Structure 1
Amino acid sequence: MAKRKRVQRRFIVVARTPSGQYPHPVEVMVHPAGRDSILAFSIGPHVVNAGGLVPLGNVLDETRTGLNPVFAEEFDAAELHWLVPHLVRLHAGEDVADDIKSAYREIHGKWPEFSG
């Protein structure tokens, strides 16, 4: 059986709520790659968390101009609605990685972490 090559992706950590906040902690990361961008979600305390990789198109609503309501609870918990306009632009093909990092810095007073 042929081995599948593992793809290494670099993610910008855009949200990490403290443990115990919300009914459960939320972590959200973005791998900016235009329409092929991926968001990574981790929800819940470490021992029982759930998570996964979600294509950007699924995170946006049907018109690709706003947030899919399925993700509203996590975006509310992580105070992440500032990211939605950047995701819309990213889906449209704009390179917004630097804009995301700058917006994060403006909000949090520090540069975002990276994973991957």
Structure 2
Amino acid sequence: MTGARSYHAGVAAEEIVARHYQQRGLVLREQRWRGTAGEVDLIFAEGAGLVFVEVKASDNFESAAAHLRPRQMERIYAAASEYLGQMPLGQATESRFDVALVDGTGQVEILEAAFGI
């Protein structure tokens, strides 16, 4: 996939996932939030806590999940830590890390608390 096509496919997948979470009552706080350590695709408020979501899209859920690598998870942790530093409770803010998989038909599978610190 070319760079531009890949970018637009990623944005479309993030939009699908954002709607999915919003239908479940979560509030979108940030999309493609970038800190000095890296980027978090989506950040939602859920009650007093936050949900950091990494979106992965591919032809099927299995290949989408395979795109998440340990180094990327480390960057997401670091960026989330930076984001939490802005919150009133700081690092003590309740949070979780989900992975949202989007297949070639636009179906979504959410892996709640898929990885954590």
**TM-score, structure 1 length as denominator?**
0.30
Instruction: Mark the structure with the bigger radius of gyration.
Output: 1
**TM-score, structure 2 length as denominator?**
0.30
Higher helix share: 2
